Amino acid sequence: MIDYSNFSDDALEARLTDLRQDHADLDAAIQALSNTTVPDLIIIGRLKRKKLALKDEVARVEDLLNPDIIA
């Protein structure tokens, strides 16, 4: 896990953009693999776990950028 405590707001925004793009890329890969004739469920499962980890990291970075917002 990355320690974001020393990141500037601009660096956090850039990281958030990267994380969101990675999340979207994984989503597209999962969709493509799911649409194959014989989908590889092991690879799809691994990608889904990575996607979930990215979602959690996105939430952490968003919380650092918006500390006053209570979920």
Q: What is the pLDDT at residue 33? A: 97
| Each residue's pLDDT tens digit, 38-49 | 999 999 999 999
Positions of the chain with pLDDT lower than 50, given as ranges: none
Which pLDDT belongs to residue 69? 65
Three-class SS state of 20: helix
Asked whether the CA dihedral 66, 68, 69, 71 is positive or negative, the reply is positive
Residue 39 near residue 33, CB atoms below 8 Å: yes
Mean per-residue pLDDT of the chain? 94
Q: What is the pLDDT of residue 68?
A: 79
**Given this model, what pLDDT does residue 60 score?**
95
